[in-house]
């Protein structure tokens, strides 16, 4: 199956992520979006708020009624820092992906991409897919990539976590299932100090 890999912390998964995934499916004719939540993202030193199992559970909720969305717990299960190159090699070794995998990258990550572990090798193994993000500068991405003209939604997981903490509305920034899950589990109420 033609697959685009979508990594991130997804803390929580929100409508910005979902629209991105949908636009990539639609515009670049992938058949599957594979969400791969990071256990510990190398570029985020701070504690992300919710634990890996809750982040995974929220992704499973949004994927449940969408055949093209698949959640892969590979990085969560690995119990160490996640690097994209390892994930790509693992997915390719499993033989579930037809042709080259796509790799979705938000505009805000372009600047740091060269510092990703084995960045050249990532580019060799995957088709990079750049997705625009409100608030990010129009930086030039020097690597070969496809640009998706996605709808710009100024939503971030950080903003949602802050809204929950401050008692502000966030209901329509996530799906109904995720909203219910956050409330049921009492996520993001206080800044947490451990994963
Ligand atoms: P945080 O606020 O915690 O940093 P986030 O909202 O940026 O989280 P991540 O899980 O870090 O979400 O993002 C995964 C990927 O999705 C990244 O490539 C990021 O650039 C992209 N992304 C997140 N939100 C949006 C959005 N609203 N529009 C476009 N891209 C987005």
pLDDT tens for 55-67 read 999 999 999 999 9
* Best probe residue, ligand 1, of 35, 45, 105, 106 (max atoms within 8 Å of C-beta): 106
- The residue whose CA has the least distance to atom 29 of ligand 1 is 133
* pLDDT of 111 over the 50 cut: yes
Whether the Cβ atoms of residue 69 and residue 31 lie closer than 8 Å to each other = no
Homologous superfamily (CATH) of 3-185 is HUPs (3.40.50.620)
Structural domain boundaries of the chain?
3-185
Residue among 13, 16, 75, 116 to mutate when testing ligand 1 (max atoms within 8 A of CB): 16
Q: What is the pLDDT of residues 97-110, one digit of tens each?
A: 888 999 999 988 99
């Amino acid at each position: 199956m033609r697959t685009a890999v979508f990594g991130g912390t997804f803390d929580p998964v929100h409508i910005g992520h979902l629209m991105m995934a949908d636009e990539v499916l639609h515009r670049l004719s992938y058949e599957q979006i594979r969400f791969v939540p990071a256990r510990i993202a190398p570029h985020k030193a701070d504690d992300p708020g919710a634990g890996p199992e809750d982040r995974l559970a929220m992704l499973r909720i949004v994927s449940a009624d969408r055949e093209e969305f698949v959640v892969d717990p590979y990085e969560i299960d690995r119990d160490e820092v996640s690097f994209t190159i390892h994930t790509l090699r693992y997915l390719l070794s499993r033989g579930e992906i037809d042709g080259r995998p796509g790799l979705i990258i938000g505009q805000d990550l372009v600047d740091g991409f060269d510092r990703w572990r084995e960045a050249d090798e990532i580019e060799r193994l995957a088709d990079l897919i750049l997705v625009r993000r409100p608030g990010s500068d129009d930086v030039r991405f020097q690597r070969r990539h496809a640009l998706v003209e996605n709808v710009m939604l100024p939503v971030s997981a950080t903003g949602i976590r802050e809204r929950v903490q401050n008692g502000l509305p966030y209901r329509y920034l996530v799906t109904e299932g995720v909203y219910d899950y956050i409330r049921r589990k009492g996520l993001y109420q206080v800044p947490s100090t451990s994963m």
